[in-house]
Amino acid sequence: MERPWPEAEEMASSSPDAPCSCDCFVSVPPASAIPAVIFAKNSDRPRDEVQEVVFVPAGTHAPGSRLQCTYIEVEQVSKTHAVILSRPSWLWGAEMGANEHGVCIGNEAVWTKEPLREGEALLGMDLLRLALERSTSAQEALHVITGLLERYGQGGSCLEDPAPFCYHNTFLLADRTEAWVLETAGRLWAAQRIQEGARNISNQLSIGTDISAQHPELQTHAQAQGWWDGQGTFDFAQVFSLTQQPVRMEAAKARFLAGRELLRQQQGGITAEVMMGILRDKESGICMDSGGFRTTASMVSVLPQDPMQPCMHFLTATPDPSRSVFKPFIFGAGVAQAPQVLSPTFGAQDPVRTLPRFQTQVDRRHILYRGHQAALGLMESDQDRGQQLRQKQRDLEQEGLKALRGLLASEWAPPFQELGSLFQAFVKRESQAYL
């Protein structure tokens, strides 16, 4: 069942405590309507923050190489995999992305009893990109993240703002066969393996007693802090969640429950279109537009269990999925960066690079973002022109979904070069539609 495109009205909220939030979803057969794992994420960030879509090719690196992440350097590995990333354009990591081996990851902010560390370390978004570049499966990606957590820790401001805003992270990791939920509290963590069914995460600890793997000191640390008496079955969410939740996490609980219910309603029939519909759901708050935050980018990935079929990733590169186009990306021989979704760079003068950080602002809008913002303005000011633009968006998106269905049914088998240039072609056509 395909959920209809919402009308253009915005969610009415001007709360100063509007949450910085995200929602991730995954469907593993038999919850999926097709023999594929389906991954989805809405990235909810400050409403004027720009997300770019960046392709990074595979690479080899000299022994002893160092890698500059958003704030700190880490040791580079000898080989990194090709990745497609949707990321806030001021930082190194990513909110969500995929690699050439069909691994997808999305992250979420979370606050727990474990205190936030002072100083700069790896952002959750850095950990996400590092895992995609270094893993060939969801489970391997989990090991990459937990290993880096142990060595470098997580920390640093997650917003492009002089006032620091810090959090710990949860992750949803998926590949062609399964998914993992990884939830962290400082260097500590618990993980849950998902081998069938549907699952979502939304800015709160959600792993209870069903723990598939964990940090070796997780329970002893909880006992030492007086958070758990050591009796009965250990419940990670119950033990590590804050006793009094901040407003942003109470709002996340409602979205988590709404997302779980939307998945339950579609059990056995979940497709890419269904996931796109869930990401466009304004009533639940999953498609967010609340105060200073909104959904700034979205992604849906279809990961066929048949390794001979290519994975297809749909990315918006623009805010508000209810008025954006999910454009198809496939790793192939012709893959290159689409310039229309790449933000300008500012080198050593970038406010994230100069100390103290974030004392000035720069214009990070890319070409598609500018065109899309102008189109949103038209949709609100000129009903006839707005309807025409929205129809163009729908038609373009349906072309991408038709290509997906053709690939899965072996009815469309274009040259490898054509597969690789698919995203570039769709981005170019969307940009032209806004002229």
Nearest to 321 by CA among 355, 362, 366, 272: 272
Closest CA relative to residue 49, chosen from 158, 126, 160: 160
Q: Quote the Cα angle for 428-404-341, to 5°.
A: 25
Nearest Cα residue to 272 out of 85, 404, 102: 404
Three-state DSSP class for residue 218 = helix
Token pair recorded at residue 414:
């274009």
With H, G, I as helix, E, B as strand and everything else as coil, classify residue 225: coil
Count CB-CB contacts under 10 A for residue 347.
Answer: 6
* 409 token code pair: 């049914």
Q: Is 199 helix (H, G, I), strand (E, B) or coil?
A: strand
Q: Is 158 a catalytic residue?
A: no
d(CA 71, CA 255): 31
CA distances from 42 to 106, 109, 142, 250, 317 (A): 9, 13, 21, 18, 11
Tokens of 40: 């989805």
Q: Is 25 exposed, middle or buried (0-12, 13-18, 19+ CB in 10 A)?
A: buried
- Cα–chain center distance at 323: 18
3-state secondary structure 235-285: CHHHHHECCCCCHHHHHHHHHHHHHHHHHHHCCCCECHHHHHHHHCCCCCC
Active-site residue among 22, 24, 104, 311? 22
Q: Which residues contact 163 (CB under 8 A, 6 or more apart)?
A: none
25, two tokens: 């979803």
Q: In terms of C-beta density within 10 A (0-12 exposed, 13-18 middle, 19 or more buried), how is residue 1 classed?
A: exposed
The catalytic site residues sit at 22
